[in-house]
Chain A
């Protein structure tokens, strides 16, 4: 790898710009894409790899190319700086998620409780508007308080977030769905909310619940059959 390529790759990662490092095999010629100088078939293959978030080797007209996708880390937005969040944040970091904790209650959202964590103390709807969650974002609400959870879920449903989870038992979740329906969300939208949150591993303690949430995020991301659920809206009807 040349110093130029390494510098460009480092710069792209720092700027959270998605790029593909293409290496011709076995010779080792390298190119960082998107790149106006790239051959059309290489450019198309790199765009596809980025879109699919899939690193691998492809056969092109001039031989094999290894396309190494460098996407910015996926994000986890945790609404509610509660006890479960304290267990969830380090686990999320362990699996490579970039974590943001949202809670306007400063006694909860303190640096003491969440060392080295990005904390946003705006109201959840304002916070989510600013964070602009995309298809590489997961959102989990943990406050158990409708006036904090509801605006966060409203914004989550208007986003392309790949995972939306809400803490709370079936009864709580039923009431929540009713309120979100009143805000104009249809059944298909409401079915995106995973509530009760997490894989059903009979979790009880805060770290166990955090583990079940992390497990479900991985299951959704890796398209595991374990990620399938009865539509939540149906279950609550």
Chain B
């Protein structure tokens, strides 16, 4: 990932953290088949509900944001797997039929 886009999300997240917010960062670590965002794409989320960036075309952001709230509370990172073989993917509807793994970590 070379385009400035993904890196800007980290700047936004760092700024939110510096402003005293609780912040989690979700990053696409692996993709299979058709998926709209490449590995390295980031989504930053705050406990107060702000979001910047994306890890999909919009279909899994809600579920990732829920997981991020948990990571912000516990401090424990999570590796989420969204795909057609995954029950959760049916729930949130990964309409493209692809599969992505998303790593969610707290900005300490």
Q: How far does the Cβ of A26 sit from chain B's closest Cβ, in whole Å?
A: 4
Over the window 1-23 of chain B, the binary record of Cβ atoms lying under 8 Å from chain A Cβ atoms (1 yes, 0 no) is 11111010011001001000000
A45-100 with Cβ < 8 A to chain B: 53, 55-57, 66, 68-71, 73-74, 95-96, 98
Question: Contacts A55-B38, A96-B4 given: A6-B30 contact, CB under 8 Å?
Answer: no
With an 8 Å Cβ cutoff, the count of chain B residues facing the other chain is 26
Q: Which residues of B contact A26 (CB under 8 A)?
A: 77-79, 103
Given the interface pairs A26-B77, A26-B78, the reply to whether A66 lies near B27 with Cβ below 8 Å is: yes
Q: Are B107 and A95 in contact (CB under 8 A)?
A: no
- Tell me which residues across on chain B come within 8 A of A70, comparing CB atoms: 1, 7
Q: In the complex, what distance in Å separates the CA atom of A70 from the CA atom of B108?
A: 20
CA distance A53 to B39 in the complex (A): 12
Whether a CB of chain B sits under 8 angstroms from the CB of A2 is: yes
Which among A1, A53, A70, A96 has the highest number of chain B CB atoms within 10 Å? Answer: A1
> In the complex, what's the smallest C-beta–C-beta distance from B37 to chain A, in angstroms?
12
Residue-wise interface mask of A (24-52) relative to B, using a CB-CB cutoff of 8 A (1 in contact, 0 not): 01111000000000000000000000000
Whether the pair B4, A28 counts as a contact (CB closer than 8 A) is no
Query: With contacts A2-B108, A26-B77, A71-B2 known, is A9 near B10, CB below 8 A?
Result: yes
Give the A interface residue count (CB, 8 A).
27
A96 touches B30 (CB 8 A): no
B99 is an interface residue with CB less than 8 A from chain A: no
Q: How many angstroms between the C-alpha atoms of A140 and B79 in the bound complex? A: 43
Q: Which residues of A contact B29 (CB under 8 A)?
A: 23, 25, 56-57, 66
Contact A25-B2, Cβ < 8 Å, known A1-B107, A3-B108? no
Q: Is the CB of A55 within 8 A of B1?
A: yes
CA distance A3 to B27 in the complex (A): 17
Query: Which residue numbers of B lie inside 8 Å of A, CB to CB?
Result: 1-5, 7, 10-11, 14, 17, 25, 27, 29-30, 38-40, 77-79, 101, 103, 105-108
Chain A residues packing against B (C-beta within 8 Å): 1-3, 6, 9-10, 13, 23, 25-28, 53, 55-57, 66, 68-71, 73-74, 95-96, 98, 136
Additional A-B contact list (15), CB under 8 Å, known A10-B14, A28-B103: A1-B25, A1-B107, A9-B10, A23-B27, A23-B29, A23-B103, A25-B79, A26-B77, A28-B105, A56-B30, A56-B39, A66-B29, A66-B39, A74-B2, A96-B4
